[in-house]
Each structure stands twice: as structure tokens, then as C-alpha cells.
Amino acid sequence: MPALAREIATCDRIRDVLETEHFGEWVVVRDEELAGAYQDFQEAAADAVKRFGRGPYLIRRVGAPPHTLPSSVMHRPIRAEG
């Protein structure tokens, strides 16, 4: 299972604890563990980058619905000119 999928599965597995103890906060999940909880995204991202570099890790707001991006944003094919 890819690293990010493991972190998402970890959030799903500990959802009850996260919603009880950290509702509305931003959490960082890495190596299938809660690495920290923060009041805002910028604080979570800054600490995650400082501690873990480029990742992989997951930053998610507890209690917020998942964001869905259209496939045109997620995948943009590169066409050869000419």
C-alpha cells in the first residue's frame, strides 16, 4: 500500500479519537501514527516540513469533509508539440 494510502487509513482507523480530542484542528499523520495536532494549517505544514522534509505525510483537518478535485486538476496530460 502506498505511503499516503496508509496515512489515510490511519486517519480512518483513529477517527473517533481524533474527533473527540482534536475536532477542528489540523493533524499530521506519518508512519501510521499521529505526529501532531495544530490550530491552523500553516503551523501544521511548517512543523511537518521541519520534522519530515518532503514527506510523505498527511495533513488533514479533523471533522472537515474530504476534498475532491476534478480529474482535470489532478491529471494534466502533456502533449508533444508538433
Read off φ and ψ for residue 77, nearest 5 degrees: -65, 150
- pTM assigned to the model: 0.76
pLDDT tens-digit profile of 27-73?
Answer: 999 999 999 999 999 999 999 999 999 888 999 999 987 766 565 55
State residue 64's pLDDT score.
84
- Coil, helix or strand at residue 23: coil
Q: What is the CA radius of gyration of the chain?
A: 15
Cβ atoms 49, 35 nearer than 8 A: no
